[in-house]
């Protein structure tokens, strides 16, 4: 199987299989497919950056909880209750972000498949038209 590496406008690389490569070379549907790819990469990037931001925040909170626990001071241990609640809330945020990412990415993939299918159907209709 011959795979070709392409670079999207965002600078990310991905592999195209032979069928995708042929579909992207047809000129008409390629632009729509490229927009779909760009949208997919932007959606994934935005979601992963948001999730990473929340996870980084949790890392700092966990470090603070550990420091408070090591100090064994009653005030610091009492602060851990609120910090742990915040960590749990952040975990719920990350779960929600990944869930939204999954739904959005799935929608983009289905849209891409529909566009590709429509382009293939159009090509078949053009092939069946008799020449004048």
Q: What is the pLDDT of residues 95-127, one digit of tens each?
A: 999 999 999 888 888 888 888 888 777 666 666
Mean pLDDT taken over the chain: 78
Q: Quick one: average pLDDT of 47-61?
A: 97
Which tokens is 120 given? 């293939």
Q: d(Cα 24, Cα 5) in Å, to the nearest integer?
A: 13
Name the residue with higher pLDDT: 100 or 16.
Answer: 100
């Amino acid at each position: 199987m011959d795979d070709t590496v392409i670079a999207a406008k965002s600078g990310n690389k991905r592999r195209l299989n032979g069928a995708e490569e042929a579909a992207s070379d047809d000129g008409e549907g390629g632009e729509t497919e490229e927009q779909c790819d760009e949208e997919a990469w932007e959606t994934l990037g935005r979601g992963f950056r948001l999730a990473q931001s929340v996870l980084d925040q949790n890392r700092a909170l966990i470090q603070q909880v550990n420091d408070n626990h090591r100090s064994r001071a009653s005030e610091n241990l009492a602060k851990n209750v609120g910090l742990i609640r915040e960590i749990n809330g952040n975990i719920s945020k990350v779960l929600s972000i990944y869930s939204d990412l999954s739904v959005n990415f799935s929608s983009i993939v289905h849209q891409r498949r529909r566009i590709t299918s429509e382009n293939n159907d159009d090509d078949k209709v053009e092939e069946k038209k008799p020449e004048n």
